[in-house]
Chains A and B, each alone.
Chain A
Amino acid sequence: ELKVEQNPLFLSMQEGKNYTIYCNYSTTSDRLYWYRQDPGKSLESLFVLLSNGAVKQEGRLMASLDTKARLSTLHITAAVHDLSATYFCAVDSINDMRFGAGTRLTVKP
C-alpha cells in the first residue's frame, strides 16, 4: 500500500523566516501534489510535480521533487501571516492517491 509521510506535523514560524516541509512516499508515483487547506475549507491545489527534478514556484512557496529519493519538499521563503494554513502533500500512483498527515503552519508576527 502506498504510504506518505509528511513532517513536521506542526510548524510555528516567525514572519520573515524560511522553512521546509518534507514529504516522503513509499512507491513509485505518477505525480505529486501539494495542497493548502484553510480551516473549514476544501483543498486548494498549489503544485503538481510530474517528473524527477521538477521545481515549481509560486510567490513565497517553492516545491521540488526527487523521485529517486521519493521525496518532495515545500520551501517557504520569508513567511508572512497569510501563509498560515495546513499544507498537505498527496502522491498519486496508478489511480491510488494518498495524502500525508498534513503540516499545520502558523506564522507569527
Chain B
Amino acid sequence: EPEVTQTPSHQVTQMGQEVILRCVPISNHLYFYWYRQILGQKVEFLVSFYNNEISEKSEIFDDQFSVERPDGSNFTLKIRSTKLEDSAMYFCASTGGGSTEAFFGQGTRLTVV
C-alpha cells in the first residue's frame, strides 16, 4: 500500500536554529498539507500546497515558516528560527490524483531546547 514518508522521525534542535522537515507524498497525489499537533492537543492546519504554490495557510504559518517542493518527490517544511513553542509533532498529508483519501505520514517529533 502506498504511504506518506516523513523524515526524521524525531529531531532535537536548539532554539533559534533552522530545521527542515521532509516528506515524501504518495507519488500521484497533487495536494499536500502540513499540520502540527502539540502533545495531546488538536491537529492544527499550517499550510496546503498545490501546483507548486501555497493554496491556503493558517495564522500559525507566519514568516518563519516556508514550504518547498524542490523536486518531483519531496515536500519540505522549513522553520527558520525555532522557538520553544514550536515543539510539536508535525504531520504531512497528501491526497488527490484520483484518490479521495488523505493519507498522513507518521510524523516528525520536533523538540526545541
| B-binding segment of A19-27, A42-50, A67-75, A76-84 | A42-50
Closest Cβ neighbor of B105 among chain A residues: A42
Closest Cβ neighbor of A96 among chain B residues: B56
Number of interface residues of B (CB under 8 A): 22
With A97-B48, A99-B42 known to touch, is A43 a contact of B91 (CB < 8 Å)? yes
Q: Which of A41, A42, A90, A96 contacts B102 (CB 8 A)?
A: A90
Residues of B within 8 A of A48 (CB): 100-102
Residues of A within 8 A of B93 (CB): 97
A95 and B48 contact, CB distance less than 8 A: yes
Q: Which of B60-113 contact A (CB under 8 A)?
A: 91, 93, 95, 100-107
Q: Which of B45, B56, B105, B106 contacts A99 (CB 8 A)?
A: B45
Residues of A within 8 A of B101 (CB): 33, 45, 48
B48 and A31 contact, CB distance less than 8 A: no
Question: When chains A and B are docked, how far (Å) is the Cα of A92 from the Cα of B45?
Answer: 11
Query: What is the 8 Å Cβ interface bit string for chain A, positions 9-42, against chain B (1 contact, 0 not)?
Result: 0000000000000000000000101010000011
Query: What is the 8 Å Cβ interface bit string for chain B, positions 40-58, against chain A (1 contact, 0 not)?
Result: 0011110010100001100
A102 and B42 contact, CB distance less than 8 A: yes
Residues of A within 8 A of B55 (CB): 95-96
Binding site for B on A (CB under 8 A): 31, 33, 35, 41-43, 45, 48, 50, 88, 90, 92, 95-102
Q: What are 11 A-B pairs at a CB distance below 8 A?
A: A42-B91, A43-B91, A45-B103, A45-B104, A48-B102, A92-B102, A95-B55, A95-B56, A96-B55, A97-B33, A97-B102
